[in-house]
Amino acid sequence: MNQSEESGYRPLFQQWDNRSWVRSKPRRTGAFASELHYFSPDLCPLFAHPEVRAAPEQVREEILVHSLYVYLEFTVQLELGPVNETCLMLHRPDFCPWLSAEMKEDLLRIYTDEAAHAEMSHTLLATVRDHTGVEPIPHRPFFLQELSRLYATELPVYRPLVKLFFSIVSETLITGSLTKLPKDPSVQRVVRELAADHAMDEGLHHAYFRRLFKSLWPKMPAPLRTKIGVVLPEIILAFLRPDEAAMTHMLAGHPDVFEDPARVVTETVELPRVRQGVVDNATPTLRMLAQEGAFSDPAISAAFDKHGLRRSA
């Protein structure tokens, strides 16, 4: 790494012992209030559909409990899966050997953060399950299925790169769940605190992966940038698209209210508000790509247009 890439990096994790959730803050526990939601209706795509909003209150509240489970399980699988696998990969001396010793060391701190996020998310899920008696729906998160599909379409030599870029995308997107959940006063306090603590750590990870991308992208040969760049919209959508299988399961649990869950879910994901939410959440990563000139490659630009991700964001 040259001087300009190195400069200004060190302060990033200098306060980690005092700032990191697992190193400096208590575990968030506490009583649940009967009048509060377990997840924010504003962050649950299903609540954009009029038939869901018109459902009996008990059904709506159960959908919100399942939405919390899906969010927490997503976090567990994401952090223990591709993100920490990427941290291990990058920590190897032979992978991105140009990364400074300091940046290699800090991967261990990110790894620790993510493992803690997984553990704390899982513990909250178990606590809510015990308190509400609502059993989680077993399912494989959509992003994992998509990631498997994307690996399968690439030669083995490119698969680590797909994983690396999936992690860059997921770590540079600050989703609504992290930023809006802590601010919704209608949601259980412990859920909001968990999201707020997580968001604080992710702010640091965002800065790290942004810097990593800024160093990595210009080092990649142009054909390799094109190769990975045209897959990036699918990587972004794998992370951001609402999990249709999970949503269908949630509604199918109430056959007396939702006769055709698949129809409601299909209509939900097509709603302009839901589609716009996906694009809005992609904005930080789109801006990062634009700043590094990724869209000056016509093939990359066309791929983003094809998937409805506006590159001017």
Binding site for Fe ion (CB under 5 A): 114, 117, 202, 205
Q: Report the residue number, 190 or 269, with the smaller CB distance to Fe ion.
A: 190
**Beta carbon of residue 89, minimum distance to Fe ion (angstroms, whole number):** 15
Q: Report the residue number, 114 or 234, with the smaller CB distance to Fe ion.
A: 114
**Beta carbon of residue 8, minimum distance to Fe ion (angstroms, whole number):** 20
Give Cα 245 distance to the centre of its chain.
17
* 101 C-beta neighbours (distance < 10 Å), count: 9
Cα distances (angstroms) measured from residue 107 to each of 5, 11, 196: 17, 15, 22
Q: Report the residue number, 105 or 259, with the smaller CB distance to Fe ion.
A: 105
> Among all residues, whose Cβ is closest to Fe ion?
205
* 205 C-beta neighbours (distance < 10 Å), count: 23
Q: Report the residue number, 111 or 142, with the smaller CB distance to Fe ion.
A: 111
263: tokens are 């129809």
65 neighbors 38 (Cβ within 8 angstroms): yes
Q: Report the residue number, 62 or 114, with the smaller CB distance to Fe ion.
A: 114
Token look-up 């261990």 returns: 108
**Beta carbon of residue 179, minimum distance to Fe ion (angstroms, whole number):** 14
How would you write 172-209 as a 3-class SS string?
Answer: HCCCHHHHHHHHCCCECHHHHHHHHHHHHHHHHHHHHH
**Beta carbon of residue 288, minimum distance to Fe ion (angstroms, whole number):** 15
**Beta carbon of residue 175, minimum distance to Fe ion (angstroms, whole number):** 11
